[in-house]
Amino acid sequence: MFFSEVNSLIDYLREEKNEKHRFATRFITVQEQKVWKELISKLYYEVDQSIRLSAICSGEDLFPDNESILGALKSIAGSGKLIMICPIAECARLYPENGEIIRYLAEWPAGNVARVYVPLLMAGDILNNQLNRVTRYKAGILPEVWTVHGEDRVEVIVAPFRGAGTWDSRVRTGIKSYLELWEHGGSQKVWLETKWAPCLPAQQIRSDFRVRLYSSGFDFVRENCFWEGLRLEWGNSSQWEWLATNIQSGESFDKLASRLVGFKEYNSGRLFALWRTLPEDMRWLVWLWSKKKAEPGTYLHHVMQSSSGVNLLARDIALGIFSAGKSVMLIQERKELLHFLGINHMPAGFWDKFNSLTDDLDKLAVLTDISEEERRSIVQSIKNILQLKVEGMLWREKLECVYPVLAWYLMSVDFQDDFLNEYFHLYIRCRLTDQLNDELAAKAREGAEKQLIWNYPSREEILTRIDADSKKVLWVDGLGLEWAGLITQLLMEAGNLEIDVKVARSNLPTTTEANRCWGENDEVERGLDNIAHHYDYRFPNALIEAFEVIKKIVTKIITLTQRYECVVLTADHGLSRFADKAGKVEAPEGTEIQQYGRYGNVGSLQYQPQPDSGWILDGSKAIMLVHEKFDGSGTSAGEVHGGGTLEECLVPVITVRKPDRTVTTAFELITGIVRINPRGKGELIIKCNRAISNVKLKVAGQWLSGEMLTAGKWRFILMDFKNGKYTGKIYCNYRLAQEFEFSVMKGYIEDDLGI
């Protein structure tokens, strides 16, 4: 029987209730939610009693059982009562077995009750499925089903978590609350939060009343975020539920992640820079977003391809380098990621993989400077590389990436003195191998025979020439010229500082007592000297500790530049790792040997050493100028001073100022393409807008000094560069002035052809 509107049905109901009939139940099907709401509200006034299923639920998240419903119906006292039961369809829709009660109600006899009205919303299929099992219905004995016409769509989401965003106003938690909603008219869109979602066999027969059942947060995210590649194993249940509860209707995964993280679009660098400040759920979201958006060709993309969980990300980033390429770009990106994640040691399994490597270049590529053990391993690899004389182009850039402090230590400084440059180039490499080689020993003897130490001005002479209204002098006990390169590079990294480096001579003998020249307002740092004389001096630990001392000193200098116009760094003397380990020489008879044989007191003895003896007489002191020592002394486990080798005697005077902002310096690249001739030589030429001095080019991990061709025009010689693109940085007075790109190509030029 069909009705076009609710009022027509109510009119018919009022007449029909007076008719005698064997069976009391009248099923009423409704096809529209608004009609349902109207019908329910009017039926409440037409019946004597309503059996609301929500009131029969034995818990907030439990269905009413059929026995209890039938029991409630049986318990109604009196005769001729009009009863309404609702919402039967909503129980049967979610759990089909609940629909079996329809068969019992269909044959409910009239007696105590005259009529039992059972309204059902968009449940014709559910009703027919049950009634077709009732013999009397198929025989046409039971009353007709009443139907109110209509057309509508209803959507119910069933999940074990609460929806968010546009769903908030329609969320119902628990079965009882859900039934109460339908007892009061329902809604076109409903979100039911129930713990039973994973095990509900909800019927979705009708397309106009759609039940979208999600057994987990993952199911909901995958269906609603438009990401087909999403995998369940990428998160746990609580993570998926957290994400599901934050999804807004029609929101893609990228838009969801963008909104939650607060970034307009995916940016791996910015996202991971915030990693340590993010809560756990947000870290997981960043990890998940990276699975989707990490750019191919990056180290992060390589790692995310195999990363199985956010909790393993640190391990994956640490170990992924073993299966990745070893380009500087990838190495640098990995190191940044490890820093962002706050990793301070390598995970289990790293050292097993590392120890399986045989090539020191490969070892260098997988290391960083974040842990003490790695730093020691880097030094060991560089030691091997230097001993094998591996071409610098193969490892300089990688070293500057993985352990910049060590790379900068190796770069040294251009002292504008070929002998000095070569000497300290050799000395620093011997420091890295912890062994005096024949080249350095020969160079030291050459300098001793020529007594080159007297070619350099005294420290006091240079200090007195430094003019500044506000000056601070910082002395570092034991700071020799070997540290000038590292210090200037660290200062350059700080930026916006003008640096001047001069070579000064300490007083002989190179003891602290003979060089205690600081004023009462000067500061003295003793970290280097303490390391050098420690009883448990060990290589490479001592060298690595010295790097940290230098870093702290530079930090202090930078701080002092905020207070003083000029900060000067100098030392009482330097140190030598080898100046008592190269053999012994006889001292003049009666000499009182001092400082591990580096010098001796000869008193009033008159003695003139031979030019090739390796030592000189300075007043009453016999001073060793080479790495041998006077016989009759002990040996130091660490470093020594007192003698006159260049590393003991020569110290830097480094002046640091803030630049004059009124003067601007700009460069123009003249040779954008550098052609390398058959001898491996090429020329790069730049032009400056003003006359300048002390111009250097840093490229491919090495320093190149410029040759001034004319005022403002400079040439740099490139040797043995490979074809490709390079990034060069121009420095004036150790201050970064400009950065540019150029290409290197191998090919003949006219001069090579004799044209």
Q: What is the pLDDT of residue 394?
A: 87
Average pLDDT over residues 649-674: 86
Using CA of residue 625, residue 629, residue 634, residue 639, what is the dihedral sign? positive
For the chain, the domains span 2-152, 438-657, 667-753
Dihedral angle computed from the Cα positions of residues 103, 105, 109 and 112, in that order, rounded to the nearest 10 degrees: 160
Average pLDDT over residues 357-377: 96
Using CA of residue 17, residue 19, residue 25, residue 28, what is the dihedral sign? negative
Tokens 């198929």 label which residue?
A: 138
**How many DSSP H helices and E strands does the chain contain?**
30, 30
- Position 671 confidence tier, pLDDT thresholds 50, 70, 90: confident
- Position 489 confidence tier, pLDDT thresholds 50, 70, 90: very high
Q: How far apart are CA 494 and CA 556, in angstroms?
A: 12
Q: What is the pLDDT of residue 753?
A: 41
The pLDDT tens digits for 400-428 are 999 999 999 998 888 989 999 999 999 99
Residue among 331, 430, 423, 351 at smallest CA distance from 383: 430
- Position 662 confidence tier, pLDDT thresholds 50, 70, 90: low
Q: Are strands 189-193 and 154-159 parallel, antiparallel or unpaired?
A: parallel
CA 405, distance to chain mean position in Å, is: 21
**What share of the chain has pLDDT > 90, as a percent?**
74
Return the minimum-mean-pLDDT range out of 21-25, 341-345, 351-355, 674-678: 674-678
- Position 166 confidence tier, pLDDT thresholds 50, 70, 90: low
Q: What is the pLDDT of residue 663?
A: 67
**667-753 is a CATH 1.10.10.10 domain:** no
The pLDDT tens digits for 113-163 are 999 999 999 999 999 999 999 999 999 999 999 999 888 899 999 999 887
Q: How far apart are CA 719 and CA 721, in angstroms?
A: 6
SS3 1: coil
Q: What is the pLDDT of residue 173?
A: 94
Average pLDDT score over the chain: 92
Q: What is the pLDDT of residue 356?
A: 97
Largest CA distance in the chain: 147
SS3 676: strand
Q: How far apart are CA 491 and CA 486, in angstroms?
A: 9
- In this predicted structure, the answer to whether residue 751 has a pLDDT above a threshold of 60 is no
Residue among 56, 34, 35, 49 at smallest CA distance from 179: 56
Average pLDDT over residues 262-290: 96
Q: How far apart are CA 716 and CA 707, in angstroms?
A: 6
**2-152 is a CATH 3.30.70 domain:** no
Average pLDDT over residues 234-257: 92
Q: Helix crossing, 237-244 with 280-293: angle to 10°?
A: 80
Residue among 246, 69, 70 at smallest CA distance from 168: 246
